Amino acid sequence: MAADPPDTDPADRDPRERGLERRSNAPAVSPWLLIGCILLLGAVIYVVSALF
């Protein structure tokens, strides 16, 4: 199967695939989620070090 030319939208493309393309511009992991996980990990390490 040949590749589609750039900037084309073939009629036989699955609409769900088009929806995934539209959402793929967002990052996979939110920066705030990453910062929150780092802070949570720091709090867990703090509590564990206080217990021992």
Task: Give residue 39's pLDDT.
Answer: 98
Task: Give residue 36's pLDDT.
Answer: 96
The distance from CA 10 to its chain's CA centroid, rounded to whole angstroms, is 27
Task: Give residue 30's pLDDT.
Answer: 84
For residue range 1-50, list pLDDT tens digits in order.
556 666 666 656 666 666 655 666 666 778 899 999 999 999 999 999 99
Place of tokens 């920066």: 31
Tokens of 32: 């705030």
Rounded to two decimals, the pTM is 0.48
Task: Give residue 43's pLDDT.
Answer: 97
